[in-house]
Amino acid sequence: MSRIGKRAVAIPGGVTANIEDSTLSVKGPKGTLSMGMVDDIDYKIEDGAISVMPANDSKRARAFWGMQRTLVANLVDGVSEGFTKVLEITGVGYRASAQGQKLKLQLGYSHDVDLDVPEGIEVKTPDQTTVEISGNDKQAVGQFAAEVRQWRKPEPYKGKGIKYRGEYIFRKEGKKK
């Protein structure tokens, strides 16, 4: 029995949810998001909440139950509050700058790395060593943050590279003489 799936997802004020043609769409102040519904799961909108329950007693329905409830919760959170990932850049000469729909990174390569920011995602650089990625789709924000981090992952000796805020980098001791 899914403990996560049992709880209904509360719909905050200013957010509306609608079910049409096996698609759940949620509209709020930060935009509109939609998700395809799985056949083995029943979705109901009642009493200001969205409840997710398995349609039958199959193993697939029970396996999808908690995940589908979490995806619905992410839709509601995305259109009401949005999601943000903060990346920190550590290293001499490493810097970032957001220029419109492009993110320019200088990471010690012989060339600058120019990344196109996907639609629906906003990138800010409050200073040269911090990148804030925000948007209403949790998966898209996390995917773009992972793509940025992939260019220079933190290394264990000096900690140079791009890391998530709050991420712990396991540090190693260097060579001994």
Same domain, 96 and 122: yes
Same domain, 89 and 160: yes
Contact 139, 85 (CB under 8 A): no
Instruction: Please state the rounded mean pLDDT for residues 104-115.
Output: 95
Contact 162, 106 (CB under 8 A): no
Of 80, 104, 133, the one marking the end of a domain is 80
Q: Is residue 35 part of a domain?
A: yes
Same domain, 87 and 32: no
Average pLDDT along the chain: 93
With a CB cutoff of 8 Å and minimum separation 6, the contacts of 130 are 86, 87, 88, 89, 96
Q: Is residue 37 part of a domain?
A: yes
The domain that holds 87 is classified in CATH as 3.90.930.12
Residue 67, classed as helix, strand or coil, is: helix
pTM over 0.85: yes
Same domain, 87 and 160: yes
Reported as a single tens digit per residue, the pLDDT across 118-137 is: 999 999 999 999 999 999 99
The number of domains in the chain is 2
Domain assignment of residue 89, given as a range: 83-164
